[in-house]
Amino acid sequence: MRASRMMTLLLQLQVRGQASGRELARRLEVSERTVQRDVEALVAAGIPIRATRGPAGGYRLDRGYRTRLNGVGLDEAGALAFLGLAGPAEQLGLGELLEGARTKVWAGLTGAARERAGRTTERFHLDPTRWYGAPEPVPCLPDLADALWRDHRIRIRYVRDGRPVTREVDPLGLVLAAGDWYLVALRNGRRRTYRVSRMRAVELLDEPAARPPGFDLAAAWAESRRALEDEPVAVEVTVRVAAAALPRLRRLVPVAGKDRVPVTATGEIVLTVPFENLGWARSALLGLGSAVEVLAPAELRTQVADELRAAAARYAPGKPGGQRPHR
């Protein structure tokens, strides 16, 4: 344990050039006194570490010393796929492994390569979380990751259409899409996709998972996504919409209908756009308020009008707050 910690301390100094005792203690999750003892032990072993005092002081490696003992372990190698994606790595329980692997990779770079890598991180950042949204709770995510590492079949309990459901599946992979996690799995030999936030429990079974030879997770996800996006829509809706609301409307319609919504316009325009069903169309368009008017189909126009009348009744002048309107 101490040898691993001292190796990490040495690599931190090699990557950073200089670090304070407080910073090293925070990264190593030990006291500053422990950092001091580890430094003394490294110096006694012949490592040229210099200590400087004062507000800008700390520890640094002298004479361009570089260690070659920076091999990346198997677990750390598995975490390298998440370089630049610290948030998802933390959700999967790989945060510490990723940090250790990143430190070793940086320590192994030459001066010029390290400078180029540093310039890249200063100029490019990957953020998989959608705007104005917090990640959904995914308490079962580490258990799913563990099952995938072990290649074991699992029993999942999740909520579907408001009801609890239990399924036994063969997990194939986890996908992070637009800030949400999905499990790709086989059930009765057919590939299925499950939203991780809807899962309530994951039980690891003794049976090995039936993983198809040569399975390509990225290709499978792309295929599933295309199939979902290419599904025929159930209803075509004609609306009169204010130009200012077009960006919001574009986000609400399926992929197959996004090209029907212009990026820019002036005044009001009439459009016909697809929706998966009348219920979703009603909820989505009500969210645009007075910026949109449903022209067709007549059934949807009537439903939207009824909802708006009921909402207006709640805010009728002189009506006490909290009193339910008569319908």
pLDDT score for 106: 62
pLDDT category of residue 320 using cuts at 50, 70 and 90: low
CA distance 119 to 113: 10
pLDDT surpassing 60 at residue 311: yes
CATH 1.20.1300 at 235-314, yes or no: no
Write out the two tokens for 313: 């009744």
141-228 matches 2-61 in CATH topology: no
Number of H helices, E strands in the chain: 12, 11
C-alpha 173/C-alpha 186 separation (Å) is: 10
CB atoms within 10 A of CB 264: 7
Cα–Cα distance, 188 to 84 (Å, whole number):
36
* Exposed / middle / buried, residue 162 (Cβ in 10 Å: 0-12, 13-18, 19+): exposed
Of all residues in the chain, the percent with pLDDT exceeding 90 is 31
The CATH code that applies to domain 2-61 is 1.10.10.10
More confidently predicted of 17 and 89: 17
Calculate mean pLDDT across residues 186-195.
92
Specify the pLDDT at position 156. 96
User: Domains of the chain: which residue ranges?
Assistant: 2-61, 74-123, 141-228, 235-314
141-228 folds as SH3 type barrels. (2.30.30)
- Residue pair 154/205 in contact (Cβ under 8 Å)? The answer is yes
CA–CA gap between residue 190 and residue 184 (Å, rounded):
10
Residues 6 or more apart whose CB falls under 8 angstroms from that of 222 comprise none
Comparing 98-112, 185-199, 228-242, 279-293, the range with the smallest average pLDDT is: 98-112
What is the CB neighbour count within 10 angstroms for residue 288?
A: 16
Quote the DSSP letter at residue 64.
T
pLDDT at 260 over 50: yes
pLDDT in tens, 93-152: 666 655 666 666 666 656 666 676 666 666 666 666 666 666 678 889 989 988 998 899
Query: In the predicted model, what is the mean pLDDT of the chain?
Result: 80
Q: What pTM was computed for the model? A: 0.55
Residue 193 in 3-state DSSP? strand
Mean pLDDT of the 156-180 span: 89
Highest mean pLDDT among 7-16, 47-56, 98-107, 277-286: 277-286
What pLDDT is stored for residue 89 in this prediction? 60
Peptide bond into 164 cis (omega under 30): no
